[in-house]
Amino acid sequence: MSITNIKKNIIASCISIESINPTDIIALLIPPPSPDLGDFALPCFKLAKSLKMSPIMIANDLANSITAKFPDKFLSVTPLNGYVNFKFDPIKSASFVLKELLEKKSDFGNSLSGANKTICIDYSSINIAKPLHIGHLSSTIIGGALCKIYTKLGYKTIGINHLGDWGTQFGKLIVAFDLWGDMQTLKKEQISFLSKIYVRFHEEAESRPELIEQARAAFKKLEDGDQHALELYTIFKRITLSEVKKIYKKLDINFDSYNGEAFFNDKMQPVLDELKKLNLTEISDGATVVNLSDYNMPPCILIRSDGATLYATRDLAAAYYRKKKYNFHKCLYVVAYQQNLHFQQIFKVLELAKKEWAQDMVHVQFGMVSVEDGAMATRKGNVILLKDVLVKAVDKSLSILKEKSSKLKNKKLIAEKIGIGAVTFFTLSNSRIKDIVFSYDKILSFDGETGPYVQYTNVRAISVLKNLDVDLDTYFNNELTIDELKGIDNKESAFLISLFEKFSDILNDVIDKYEPSILTRYLIDVAKGFNKFYLENRVLNAPSECKRARVAVTYATHIILKEGLRLLGIGTPEEM
């Protein structure tokens, strides 16, 4: 249970109103408009009808009653315009929060709320024989963060990379490789060579249309299990996964399943048969469709007039399979907003098929990503490679470190954490639905609301702890005394501790809204709060009666920042 919920339960336990249970009281509690008024406010307007009293009278009576019965529970209980404001003793709150944080460390904020619930998260979803490009960035980063946060909150999380590993493009690649490829060059150039011959195929096909027919024939051979076609297909797939896994490792991304379109080839027919049995399908211009005109949507095409299946067919088969295999609590699709209609159609077909779990399917949509100065990045076709974006960010980080921290050891390793962390943090720093444009100079700034700023703040906290030169577990072996806690009886400390207290609620808010930017904004607030605390309060050379409490706040800041960044997939250097 989060500290916020503990406090809400304390308030509810102090209120005894006939016909109103504690759960109802907890649901009514809200933050006051100003922290000066208290920690929580109880609006009494919804109680007026059942109690047959005005909200102002209810608030006055409740405040007087609670103050009389529970004089030690709160610092103050005050009525104001139909609200009851509850303020907890900040010293007692600080003691409780810091004790929890220093004991649990990185486990602070962990929860069992997701126990026995499985979340499937379909994200990144690369195409075989094509490199990761900047268009994959948001899906990969958002999906990775959601996986980590759901796991921290007790859910069993299944990360799925639904590979684009089937279709006529493989016929084109097979023809292209047979015409212009060789194993030695493929082994040397890997996925970039596959991209080259794929581009060449389309260029050549403009004047040699017979290549298209050859590609269709080659894909048919692949479908029929032709040994040569299968061997090339397997090599192309292995090369692609080997290449992209290197980038995933840098981004701290892991998948539990790489089952893509090919995996569902033999799983589509049972779904089609069931939809037909339910009288949901019909023939339109030779195609098999589900008519969705009653829902203001175009038909969901399942089989084209030429007999080919589509993405929708395979996505439906995948949904059936995932529900059967994982029995998911929710299945998330982290896919760009351009696919809104596709998922609306898929979810509606599942609903019409009387699948109660259709309501548990969620399209986590996001905006487009571009680079401010794309000319400086390597392009294949008109695509900016994700590898190049990361390389450029790391190179810029390294040049900054050489200029500002020339004596720093392991500069390259630290630059990688800063550069990749900056890209990740920036991707998650705005509401996911917004289109974002990269400016390398802005995202790598050590000032302002950036990843490097949060990392640097964490380094500042680590530096204080290192200079203390003690074993921290031994140092905090005994609880902070009331006299020691007076050393943090100031607004800077109180603000920081109030943020620590909200950590668990922030994480729950992220998964409720599928919005990792809530966590990035929170970490910025913690970083800003600590820097103000650090400027206004001596720590290492603090008076002896204040020192342990101020070190505790510093240590707690480090724990929160490090764990928060980890959940976003961002590394935390100890020096910068």
Residue 366 makes CB contacts below 8 A (sequence gap 6+) with: 138, 139, 142, 334, 335, 336, 337, 432, 433
Q: Is the pTM of this model over 0.95?
A: no
**pLDDT exceeds cutoff 70 at 86:** yes
| Tokens representing residue 193 in the block | 């060579």
CB 37 within 8 A of CB 85: yes
The CATH number of the domain covering residues in 3-88: 3.30.1360.70
Give the integer Cα–Cα distance in Å for 122 and 120: 6
Helices 90-104 and 491-501: crossing angle in degrees, nearest 10, is 50
| Tokens representing residue 534 in the block | 């650090």
What is the CA 266 to chain-centroid distance, rounded?
32
What is the CA 247 to chain-centroid distance, rounded?
18
Give the integer Cα–Cα distance in Å for 419 and 450: 11
Q: Which of 3, 19, 205, 238 is nearest to 99 (CA)?
A: 3
pLDDT at 373: 61
**How many CB atoms within 10 Å of residue 7?**
19
**pLDDT exceeds cutoff 50 at 401:** yes
Q: List, as one string, the DSSP characters of 70-120.
A: -TTT-SEEEEETTEEEEE--HHHHHHHHHHHHHHHGGGTT--STTTT-EEE
CB 122 within 8 A of CB 132: no
CB 556 within 8 A of CB 484: no
Query: For the chain, which residues make up each domain, given as ranges?
Result: 3-88, 168-250, 451-568
Per DSSP, the three-state class of 379 is strand
41 φ/ψ angles, rounded to the nearest 5 degrees: -125, 140
Give 481's DSSP letter: P
Give the integer Cα–Cα distance in Å for 178 and 186: 12
| Tokens representing residue 81 in the block | 């315009």
First vs last C-alpha separation in the chain:
36
**pLDDT exceeds cutoff 50 at 159:** yes
Q: Which of 128, 117, 116 is nearest to 163 (CA)?
A: 128
Q: By mean pLDDT, which of 312-316, 373-377, 459-463, 473-477 is the weakest?
A: 373-377
CB 496 within 8 A of CB 526: yes
Tell me the one-letter amino acid at 27. Answer: A
CB 176 within 8 A of CB 203: no
Q: By mean pLDDT, which of 156-170, 362-376, 436-450 is the weakest?
A: 362-376
Go through the chain and tell me how many residues it has: 576
pLDDT at 404: 87
Kindly report, residue by residue over 99-155, the tens digit of the pLDDT: 999 999 999 999 999 999 999 999 999 999 888 988 899 999 999 999 999 999 999
Give the integer Cα–Cα distance in Å for 91 and 77: 17
CB 362 within 8 A of CB 350: no
Per-residue pLDDT averaged across 314-335, rounded? 98
Kindly report, residue by residue over 175-227, the tens digit of the pLDDT: 999 999 999 999 999 999 998 999 899 999 999 999 999 998 999 899 888 99
**pLDDT exceeds cutoff 70 at 382:** no
Residue 235 makes CB contacts below 8 A (sequence gap 6+) with: 186
**pLDDT exceeds cutoff 80 at 550:** yes
**How many CB atoms within 10 Å of residue 536?**
11
Give 480's DSSP letter: P
Q: Which fold has domain 451-568?
A: Isoleucyl-tRNA Synthetase; Domain 1 (1.10.730)
In percent, the amount of the chain with pLDDT more than 90 equals: 81
- Count CA within 13 A, CB hemisphere, residue 235: 18
